[in-house]
Structure 1
């Protein structure tokens, strides 16, 4: 299974569901798929992975494609987008639960890995993950280069990485990994 089928579905429904303004599949792949796949290096091959604010399924869907042993838990408040994610999960044969709810309204989801896209406030995101995290869970988050690590009760930063997306030194992404105990 490749991410190309996912990109095709996004391109097919992008206007009707207001998923993205990007109409070029290659540009979409470069902007959304590659940065999502870049997170895979720090994510285990199995376990339950929570994608908070999944939107059109990024980074969750590309990570489930890259790591088929994961069980996805994709949370998106907007019902139409959650329905789109359900459609993609069925079409691609992925193992995932999709919730159209606010993460704060859900019971414990027993998560081993937490991810999100375009994290602007790590502290808030880690607090959202806390009620759902199993002991030893990790959070793998893309964060702005200028942001300092945060301290959230129960979470400890264990590593930080800067990577060039698409081999472009002008497109650097910082990845922070936190562990919950």
Structure 2
């Protein structure tokens, strides 16, 4: 999509643009105007195409801005400036696409097994003109052709079971890299299921989304 098209999306969404700026400031995230515009364009794609396809249940723009875009960006202050990031179960591209827009020095791989979701992400990457990010349609640990590849960050906001995410993703975390699990308000039962050795390696960042005040927990485990 051309720069004028991106500007058009931003111009037609001034209230959302202001909300995005407010939300990013609340999360202590500072991005350029161009990245703001690309985040709004991606939000527009989610509402225009992903919602009718059943890839998201949210049709309210402000709620989608908070629950999809801002929520996806919550780990950004703790991510490395450079390196490789693997997003497991990316769905419609969350959190991988917003994180790539915000920090384009990251090399991003989006893993998604479902065809419709993978097709939407491929389309969105073309519209957004993002480089250094790929979509791989497969199940991690089963048919993904990743071989011996490792990543500085392996992240997911889709897998509900922390134990399962760790068992699938741990082989792909580089030495001294991070596994990042994006969770809702209640994490105690999942943490209790971890081994003492793993619990010693993790730290947790508690936060709230800027408009609804919804609680979030980011679990970081160092390899």
> Structure 1 length normalisation: TM-score?
0.89
Other-structure match for 2:172: 132
The separation in 2 between residues aligned to 1:32 and 1:15, in whole angstroms, is 12
Other-structure match for 1:101: 138
Matched pairs, number? 179
Q: In structure 1, which of residues 171, 174, 181 is the aligned counterpart of residue 217 of structure 2?
A: 174
Q: In structure 2, which of residues 120, 123, 128 is the aligned counterpart of residue 92 of structure 1?
A: 128
Select the structure that is richer in strand: 1
- Does the aligned pair in 2 maintain the 1:119–1:143 contact within 8 Å? no
When structure 1 is superposed on structure 2, of 152-161 and 137-146 the one drifting more is 152-161
Query: Greater CA radius of gyration, 1 or 2?
Result: 2
Alpha-carbon distance change, 146 to 158 in structure 1, aligned in 2, over 3 angstroms: same
Q: Following TM superposition, by how much is the alpha carbon of 1:109 offset from its aligned partner in structure 2, in angstroms?
A: 3.1
The separation in 2 between residues aligned to 1:90 and 1:156, in whole angstroms, is 41
Instruction: Give structure 1 stretches of 5+ with no counterpart.
Output: none
Q: RMSD in angstroms over aligned alpha carbons?
A: 2.1
The separation in 1 between residues aligned to 2:186 and 2:205, in whole angstroms, is 13
Other-structure match for 1:27: 63
The separation in 1 between residues aligned to 2:133 and 2:40, in whole angstroms, is 19
The separation in 2 between residues aligned to 1:179 and 1:51, in whole angstroms, is 17
Instruction: Give structure 2 stretches of 5+ with no counterpart.
Output: 1-34
When structure 1 is superposed on structure 2, of 68-77 and 1-10 the one drifting more is 1-10
Counterparts of 1:145-164 in structure 2 under 5 Å?
145-148=185-188, 149=191, 150-151=194-195, 157-164=201-208
The separation in 2 between residues aligned to 1:164 and 1:154, in whole angstroms, is 25
> Structure 2 length normalisation: TM-score?
0.73
Q: Following TM superposition, by how much is the alpha carbon of 1:15 offset from its aligned partner in structure 2, in angstroms?
A: 4.1
| Structure 1 residue matching 2:75: 3-state secondary structure | helix
Select the structure that is richer in helix: 2
The separation in 2 between residues aligned to 1:112 and 1:154, in whole angstroms, is 18
The separation in 1 between residues aligned to 2:196 and 2:164, in whole angstroms, is 9
